[in-house]
Structure 1
Amino acid sequence: MSANLKSMTRKELEKLLADVKKALQTAQSRDRRDARKAAEKAAAEFGFSLNELGEDAPAKQKKAKAPKKAVKASKPKYADPADASRTWTGKGRQPNWFRAAVEKGIAPSDLEI
């Protein structure tokens, strides 16, 4: 079947598209039916029905993960003596102002809030 698409009108093309979609649905239904018959035959060879085999499927499925809890922001533990708006929680990498203050001889306990 070779259709010259360039010479077809828009309505003819839309009808062709609808026919193709319908044919695809029919083919999918036929393939699904054939697959089910083949699966039933294979299960019957082992003495089972598809319904009996389908009962085990939910037990093997993975559990849904619980949603993660929001992480609370840590409270600041240290403040820059020159600018109190610059703070550090004491976790992670040391800020430059903290490192410079310690190098000058200021004790970390003196920088605590």
Structure 2
Amino acid sequence: MAVDIKNLNHNQLNDLIAKAQQRQTELRKDKVAKLREKIHALIKAEGFAFEDVFGQGRAGKVRKTGGIVPPKYRNPADPEQTWSGRGKRPRWFNDALKAGKKEKDLAI
């Protein structure tokens, strides 16, 4: 199936490119599926389970979620304003440092 691309207009050429990319994706998926089957067969032939070789994957891992961090610094002008020391510094913290205070002066 030889296609003479010199005789194709812009739209036809774009369609041909899209179909070729789609076919390329299909071929890649087929190749990956065949490789996966080969790997599973090899693991089974050796007497192991997939999990023995590769572990539990994401299901076995527990991701630590960001919890509440206790505050490390308190605004002396307004004791309700606190900062944990993580993330961007609050404006009151920067203002206190500019006024001559030190971080240890603002620590709780």
What TM-score results when the alignment is normalised by the length of structure 2?
0.50
Bigger radius of gyration, 1 or 2? 1
What TM-score results when the alignment is normalised by the length of structure 1?
0.48
